[in-house]
Copies of this chain bind each other. A is one copy, B any other.
Amino acid sequence: MEKIAIIGAGLVGSLQAIILAKKGYKVDVYERRMDMRKADISAGRSINLALSNRGWKAIELAGITDEIMKMAIPMYGRMMHPIEGETFFQQYGKDGEAIYSVSRGGLNQQLMNSAEALENVDFHFDMFCLDVDLETNEVEFLNTKTDEIIKHKPDRIFATDGAFSAIRSKLQKTDRFNYEQMYLEHGYKELYIPATETGVYQIDKNALHIWPRGNYMLIALANEDGSFTCTLFFPFEGEKSFESLKTKADVQAFFSEIFPDAIALMPSLIDDYFTNPTSSLVTVRCSPWNHADKILMMGDASHAIVPFYGQGMNSGFEDCSIFNEIFEKHNRNWNISFQEFSKTRKKDADAISNLAIQNFVEMRDLVADESFLLRKKIEKKIYKKHPQKWMPLYSQVTFSHIPYSEALANGKRQEKIMDQIMAKENIQQNWDTLEIEQEILRLVDEK
């Protein structure tokens, strides 16, 4: 029986443990932190997760859909909060299609419980990865509770140890390893909208709330207890920035002016603002993702992305289901599967990584733009009438299993078509005509 080590008991590592254990392998999962099930989960830097179709597919593969669905709150669209005037709703996809707000901590605990329930899975907590010998595959850990050095020599290593992966740091020093870490000029800070005293949601729980403000934005996703976790995405430096809001009065004045309907729901705003950390937003790209047939990286370890397409976890989970397909296709040949996964999956990770950066502009700015909204309305109409000919990019990414790289390419083609359509005179008046519809279909068939 082959011994597998998974480094990192986060979302992707815990899910991968279940999938591999179900094939009969002996799986040991090593986690740097303590067992989160025995501790308060550290709050203050947990951008809420939006689980969508790609994530669900891998959860299905692990056989734990029902358990996860119980803790998930469907969000059918974006609720826009302009600075003045009424909120308005933008449906994400077709009727019934939703992304699901889940608690990172709750989901991770459920994945750990499901993995640990399998007899061939063992979790090892407080295990700080010190080194991996790339010749022998021996991994060295410091047990941070006992100060013991622990050595383990698995047959295969799955490195799911996140954006600051220790295993990747080691690989980075090998020849011809390509690596990039790139930070946005924006950071984020977690804030909070509590439930009412009777435990009721203060705003619609079935929407992802956005306060788009051009260069920055606030968002809110529902928690199970009636509260919302909010995240302010804001420049680190500049005229309006984390740096410029120095005092309690600065924060109070800024939120009162810019987020008037939100501040009314946030009694602990000032405390939260100064207590919670300001965190940075990193994109990580690298290649190759494997070291021979010994080590394979997955999830944030090989492709950390910014959160603006809601695909960080989903792309990590999709790594698990796609690796599974490749692995079974090659009759569980580790060497071929590691190589093929590394080679074929990277282009999709690169695509979603770029889409996530682009979507920040869409979320914080374009969603409040009239021409953009008309464009989306036209696309939606064509999608509804001709679903074989046109699926909006957001739906391709969120509600389909089309490879991200194909979705990106399709999206670019569609954007060019829509640029032509939007450049037409009187499109504001004529958008709903048969002529425009036929013009779009003609352009689609032309490509």
Q: Collect the chain B residues with CB atoms within 8 Å of residue A172's CB.
A: 181
**CB atoms of A179 and B181 under 8 A apart:** yes
Docked CA distance A178–B180 (Å): 8
Q: Collect the chain B residues with CB atoms within 8 Å of residue A176's CB.
A: 183, 236, 280
Chain B, residue nearest A286 (CB): B181
Produce 1/0 per residue, A166-206, CB < 8 A to B: 00000011011111111100000000000000000000000
Docked CA distance A276–B291 (Å): 25
Report the minimal beta-carbon distance from A400 to chain B, rounded to whole angstroms: 31
- Enumerate A96-151 residues with CB–CB distance to B below 8 Å: none
**CB atoms of B180 and A280 under 8 A apart:** no
Chain B, residue nearest A284 (CB): B179
Q: Collect the chain B residues with CB atoms within 8 Å of residue A179's CB.
A: 179-181
Query: Which of B173, B175, B280 touches A175 (beta carbons < 8 Å)?
Result: B280
Docked CA distance A177–B179 (Å): 13
Q: Collect the chain B residues with CB atoms within 8 Å of residue A183's CB.
A: 175-178
Report the minimal beta-carbon distance from A24 to chain B, rounded to whole angstroms: 35
- Enumerate A256-272 residues with CB–CB distance to B below 8 Å: none
Interface residues on A, range: 10 to 19
Residue of A175, A176, A178 with highest tally of chain B CB at under 10 A = A176
Q: Collect the chain B residues with CB atoms within 8 Å of residue A181's CB.
A: 172, 177-180
Report the minimal beta-carbon distance from A178 to chain B, rounded to whole angstroms: 5
- Enumerate A296-320 residues with CB–CB distance to B below 8 Å: none
Q: Collect the chain B residues with CB atoms within 8 Å of residue A182's CB.
A: 178, 180
Chain B, residue nearest A182 (CB): B178
Docked CA distance A181–B176 (Å): 9
Q: Collect the chain B residues with CB atoms within 8 Å of residue A236's CB.
A: 176
Chain B, residue nearest A175 (CB): B280
Report the minimal beta-carbon distance from A108 to chain B, rounded to whole angstroms: 24
Report the minimal beta-carbon distance from A151 to chain B, rounded to whole angstroms: 23
Chain B, residue nearest A181 (CB): B179
Q: Collect the chain B residues with CB atoms within 8 Å of residue A175's CB.
A: 183, 280
Chain B, residue nearest A172 (CB): B181
Q: Collect the chain B residues with CB atoms within 8 Å of residue A280's CB.
A: 175-176
Docked CA distance A306–B179 (Å): 16
Report the minimal beta-carbon distance from A290 to chain B, rounded to whole angstroms: 16
Report the minimal beta-carbon distance from A312 to chain B, rounded to whole angstroms: 19
- Enumerate A392-415 residues with CB–CB distance to B below 8 Å: none
Docked CA distance A280–B175 (Å): 7
Report the minimal beta-carbon distance from A357 to chain B, rounded to whole angstroms: 14
Docked CA distance A176–B172 (Å): 18
Residue of A173, A177, A181 with highest tally of chain B CB at under 10 A = A181
Docked CA distance A176–B280 (Å): 7
Chain B, residue nearest A184 (CB): B176
Chain B, residue nearest A176 (CB): B183
- Enumerate A224-283 residues with CB–CB distance to B below 8 Å: 236, 280
Docked CA distance A180–B177 (Å): 11
Report the minimal beta-carbon distance from A128 to chain B, rounded to whole angstroms: 15
Residue of A173, A175, A280 with highest tally of chain B CB at under 10 A = A175
Docked CA distance A164–B172 (Å): 11
Docked CA distance A182–B182 (Å): 14
Chain B, residue nearest A180 (CB): B180
Chain B, residue nearest A282 (CB): B176
Docked CA distance A179–B177 (Å): 13
Docked CA distance A172–B282 (Å): 12
Report the minimal beta-carbon distance from A186 to chain B, rounded to whole angstroms: 11
Q: In the complex, given contacts A172-B181, A179-B180, what are 7 additional A-B residue pairs having Cβ atoms less than 8 angstroms apart?
A: A175-B280, A176-B236, A176-B280, A177-B181, A178-B182, A180-B180, A180-B182
What are 5 inter-chain pairs, A to B, with CB distance below 8 A? A164-B173, A175-B183, A176-B236, A178-B181, A179-B179
3 nearest CB pairs, A to B: A180-B180, A176-B183, A179-B181
